[in-house]
Structure 1
Amino acid sequence: MRGRDDLNATPLDVHPADTASTSEIQRLTIGRLISAVESAISGEANGSITWKAASSFINSLRKYPQSATFTDNHLGSWVATMLQQDYSRTTIERYLTKISALYTQIAGASAPSEAFATVRTQLKSLPAAKYAIAPETLGRIQQLARDHSQSSSLPAIPLRALIYLLYNPASQPIDLINLRFDTLPILPQQAEEIIDDLRDPKRKYVFPLNQGKKRDGQIARELDSAMSMILSRAGIAHTSSPVDTIRSLWAAIALQTAVLPDEIAAIIPATPSSAPYLSMVRPAPLADYEKEEIIFRVADAINPVRSRWHVMKLRTAIRPNHVKDRIATLLPDIAKHIIYYYPTHLQVRTVGKKKLTEEVPYLPDHLFFKLRDDRMTRLFSHIGDLAWCYRVSNHPDSPYSVIPQYEMGAFQQFLGILSSDIEVELVNPKTLTVGTEVSVQGGIFAGHRGTIRDIIQPSSPTASRTYILTISENTALKCTIKITDTLVKAI
């Protein structure tokens, strides 16, 4: 839930019931309005139309900060939610009538607020159709997202493009056509895995769609046709375009994930023709990082199977390289996606008159690794004689223990040794030169400020630049960063 008001919304001003002075007009907060509505219906029988309308209205309001001022956008959000949940127009009209009367009573006004009339007008302008998406349809798209790499009957590149658009509802086909490995945006992990499957050092475009050989318009039309075919074969009814359908599906999943209608409207560039209920609200004033958090949360709802951090205990006399070599030999598909973390430091010890420097692990015999949940069982069926993985409990059927990303990031930051999954590349190096003061906007170093002290240029076109930053806390930080302009900016 957002912790901000809609700055563009129209507050519904309220005259206290015991005064008619316009100088004493008050703005009603959501918390106060909920209390007032609850008090007003205290004598209503459960199940009456007034009780049902008030219950629905209050449940919608509880999703917003209680200190926020109630506006017409909250009213539109409530109606939009009912439309998506397949309430009939008659029921919604009756609910609006009841809540309008309650609001007029609470406000002590002589006439209903214009906001209710405005919302009714908006409602009447929408096409008379059902906007609810059947659970089985949502199930099909979610299954397609989870199994896209396993399907051999559907065209691989258009299928991955379709799922990429599902994880990134603000994207369009032209974005896919121009998407390059060296200019990737901030993405959900599920979308990053799609890109990892497509990595090729000989290619600069993520999706090989004959860029340079065909015009963008032709590529877009062919991609559109292929995605339409995939939706049809998956049993998913689609409207004017696959992108329109994908955005409608994303919006429905987002609402189930407690994303608010005005937040959805802020993320999707245009109202989908199959989800016109979103036109009932104005887009919420979300910052880029807030949009990213929502997109990441919905991606987890679409496909909860993603890479997470675990730790294995190496058996006696086994070293990390033994495990890595076994996986590379027997499980090359897993080796392609697994990330290892075995932090070490240099230690000097004296042997006789000599001083020896050796590399010592911080946590001996503990190898951290990041891997998708659905690959864990297969992994340890091949390396069980070399190591075992910690579980939630001692029971053999207990799930494997997971280390939250923020805890792993904090641990790595404390040690000053990063794993490859948080390496990032600055997308606009021309504006980030030696001496530039920068602030990190996201990730585990969010909030830090520093100065670029040196830049090590890439040894090849596919290699990353290395930026050496001096952090303001007098700490020298050397890291290869892959970060977009939304996460780092010049001060």
Structure 2
Amino acid sequence: MIGNKEHTSFDVMSFLQSRVAALSADTAFKYRKALSEFNSFLSCHKLSVNNLSSATICDWVTEMFRQGLSTATIAQRLNILNSLFKQAADKGYMCQCNAPREIARTIESADFKQPPLLRASIFDNCLSTLREFINDDNEHNNICGDILVFSVLNRALPLKDIINLNKDDLTGFNGYSSHILERNTDPRRKYIFDLRQSYRTQKQIYSSITDELDRRFSTLLNHGNFSFEDLAGSLWVSIAIRCGATASEALDCISNPAPYTVPKFHKRTGNSSDNREKWSKSVEAMLTYTLPKWYAMRLRRGVSFEEVKKETLKLQPAPELFYPVETIRKHLRGKSAVIERPFITQTVFFKTNPENIRPMFSRIGDKAWCIRTSGNFDAPYAAIPQADMLRFQKAIGVFSADSEIFPLGSLTPKPGESVILIQADYSGREAVIEDVFENNCGTVMFRVKLTTDYGYEWRAKIDARQVELISRAD
């Protein structure tokens, strides 16, 4: 630890600034700039100059590389810091600190190479590649891409752990990780990812995955024959740093090395990170930012859903609209009439990419407005989590086009088995499956029998997405 508890951060910084003021104009300018940049870094990450560690100096160097500064400029600033720290140590303001000078010598040596993911252009290309893997409709999407994204979303989960994931492990993950597992799961297969585990050794599987990823990333990183763990760890740390973490914070969140992001002189602090969950959510948010999300708009007075629908169909790309209504039969003046009533008045749900929202409402702003996270005009648009949207659709029994429709025979519940109903009218009730069939739209439906405590029973047709299995028939 490089610190002296007898002096406050203000005392130490004031002394360092006083040393700069005594220098000639040209020299003072360089010293003042270096000290200002270092102080800004400390303030940004809530660190103090009187309680430094060598890891903090390493974090600052990593950040300067990420900002695009040259090795010569970084070495100059480290030498300036070293000179100021020496003067402060001589006066008793802080303990002797040689880290800046030692790191400056390291990065100036001939064998030092800057980690590629600290270069903005390389990072952006790798991030774009990961987002291509995430995009379901992209032609490059494949099982190796799913595995890499899944690993990065889960703090660089080792490949051996991913290979052995089976259907019993589905409940241990959430967010987009859960989506990846669900789309790779097959009820006829033990393991989640179809890697032919029964026919190949782990070494063969590992080799096939790394060969495929090497083909995609070797050119981007200007490095080949890397290990899966090194790649996943480096990607996770680089994204976490871009989200605002220091290199030390990010490195302490994972067990893997990160050689393509963190310089060799940067050692682990050994501290247990209290922000693992925070940075994990930040990494997932950055990776999935371009995915279409659900939002809600409010129709202005006198505007109908059909008017908004007509205008949005002219947009490229057109958003997916969801305006759930229920059919009601009414008797008016002796006549029977069927009307449609929205579940939520004047509210239309829509799914689109975040960057498409502003152009969309530039066109239809006179007919509707998008709900934001707060009442402020510049507040972010309020995205609706996919899980919440699906729960809402299950409750009302009306589903959007993106809700998965299971093919007949692939669902777990069978005739004779007990289920819990999710539909709002019967929410929480237990029922028994009597029949499974497909309607005209290809949606799987269940005919279920419900009973009461008084012995009454009745039957209903329920969408397969509105039940949860609770027991299996013998």
TM-score (norm 1): 0.57
Q: Is 1:80–1:277's contact at 8 Å kept on the other side of the alignment?
A: yes
Q: Is 2:31–2:80's contact at 8 Å kept on the other side of the alignment?
A: yes
Q: Is 1:339–1:420's contact at 8 Å kept on the other side of the alignment?
A: no
Shift in Å, 1:299: 3.6
1:137/1:83 CA distance change after superposition, 3 Å = closer
The one-letter code sitting in structure 2 at the alignment partner of 1:364 is T
Q: Secondary structure at the match of 1:310?
A: strand
Q: Is 1:83–1:132's contact at 8 Å kept on the other side of the alignment?
A: no
Whether 1:138 and 2:117 are equivalent positions in the alignment is no
Q: Is 2:59–2:246's contact at 8 Å kept on the other side of the alignment?
A: yes
The one-letter code sitting in structure 1 at the alignment partner of 2:278 is E
1:401 is matched with which residue? 370
Q: Is 2:57–2:99's contact at 8 Å kept on the other side of the alignment?
A: no
Question: 1:13 & 1:341 partners in 2: Cα distance?
Answer: 64
Q: Is 2:210–2:227's contact at 8 Å kept on the other side of the alignment?
A: yes
Q: How does 1:37-436 map to 2 (within 5 A)?
A: 37-38=16-17, 40-42=19-21, 45=25, 48-65=29-46, 70-72=51-53, 73-85=55-67, 91-106=73-88, 109=91, 113-114=95-96, 116-118=97-99, 120-121=101-102, 128-133=112-117, 134-148=119-133, 149-152=136-139, 154=140, 156-184=142-170, 185-186=172-173, 189=176, 191-195=177-181, 197-203=183-189, 205-232=191-218, 237-238=223-224, 240-277=226-263, 279-280=266-267, 282=269, 285-287=272-274, 290-311=275-296, 363-368=344-349, 372-373=353-354, 392-393=361-362, 401=370, 403-404=372-373
Q: Secondary structure at the match of 2:370?
A: coil
Question: 1:129 & 1:276 partners in 2: Cα distance?
Answer: 11
Shift in Å, 1:226: 1.8
Q: Is 2:16–2:84's contact at 8 Å kept on the other side of the alignment?
A: yes
Question: 1:253 & 1:293 partners in 2: Cα distance?
Answer: 13
1:102/1:242 CA distance change after superposition, 3 Å = same
1:67/1:55 CA distance change after superposition, 3 Å = closer
Q: Is 1:342–1:366's contact at 8 Å kept on the other side of the alignment?
A: no
Shift in Å, 1:246: 4.1
Q: Is 2:293–2:383's contact at 8 Å kept on the other side of the alignment?
A: no
Question: 1:256 & 1:370 partners in 2: Cα distance?
Answer: 27
Question: 2:155 & 2:241 partners in 1: Cα distance?
Answer: 14
Shift in Å, 1:218: 2.5
Shift in Å, 1:234: 6.2
Question: 2:371 & 2:260 partners in 1: Cα distance?
Answer: 39
Question: 1:363 & 1:397 partners in 2: Cα distance?
Answer: 20
Question: 1:204 & 1:342 partners in 2: Cα distance?
Answer: 38
Q: Is 2:163–2:195's contact at 8 Å kept on the other side of the alignment?
A: yes
Q: Is 2:321–2:351's contact at 8 Å kept on the other side of the alignment?
A: yes
Question: 1:396 & 1:85 partners in 2: Cα distance?
Answer: 39
1:258/1:40 CA distance change after superposition, 3 Å = farther
Deviations 1:104-163 (A, max 9, x none): 44466369734x2256556766851122544332232222223334443x5721122233
2:422 is matched with which residue? none
Q: Is 1:145–1:303's contact at 8 Å kept on the other side of the alignment?
A: no
Q: Is 1:86–1:131's contact at 8 Å kept on the other side of the alignment?
A: no
Q: Is 1:308–1:372's contact at 8 Å kept on the other side of the alignment?
A: yes
Shift in Å, 1:397: 12
Q: Secondary structure at the match of 2:295?
A: strand
Highest relative contact order (Cα 8 Å, sep 6+), 1 or 2? 1
1:390/1:53 CA distance change after superposition, 3 Å = closer
Q: Is 2:19–2:84's contact at 8 Å kept on the other side of the alignment?
A: yes
Q: Is 1:77–1:262's contact at 8 Å kept on the other side of the alignment?
A: yes
Question: 1:213 & 1:206 partners in 2: Cα distance?
Answer: 15
Q: Secondary structure at the match of 1:41?
A: helix
Shift in Å, 1:224: 1.5
The two structures, once aligned, show a CA RMSD in angstroms of 5.3
TM-score (norm 2): 0.59
The one-letter code sitting in structure 1 at the alignment partner of 2:204 is Q
Q: Is 1:232–1:238's contact at 8 Å kept on the other side of the alignment?
A: yes
1:101/1:67 CA distance change after superposition, 3 Å = closer
Rg (Cα) greater in structure:
2
Question: 2:50 & 2:198 partners in 1: Cα distance?
Answer: 53
| Total equivalences in the alignment | 370
Q: Is 2:132–2:141's contact at 8 Å kept on the other side of the alignment?
A: no
Deviations 1:216-248 (A, max 9, x none): 333222212221122247676445324423433
Question: 1:339 & 1:395 partners in 2: Cα distance?
Answer: 14
Q: Is 2:130–2:149's contact at 8 Å kept on the other side of the alignment?
A: yes
The one-letter code sitting in structure 2 at the alignment partner of 1:282 is T
Q: How does 1:6-21 map to 2 (within 5 A)?
A: 10=1, 12-13=3-4
1:94/1:205 CA distance change after superposition, 3 Å = same
Question: 1:267 & 1:307 partners in 2: Cα distance?
Answer: 29
Shift in Å, 1:54: 1.1
Deviations 1:63-112 (A, max 9, x none): 22267962213233223333555656655454334223323444663697
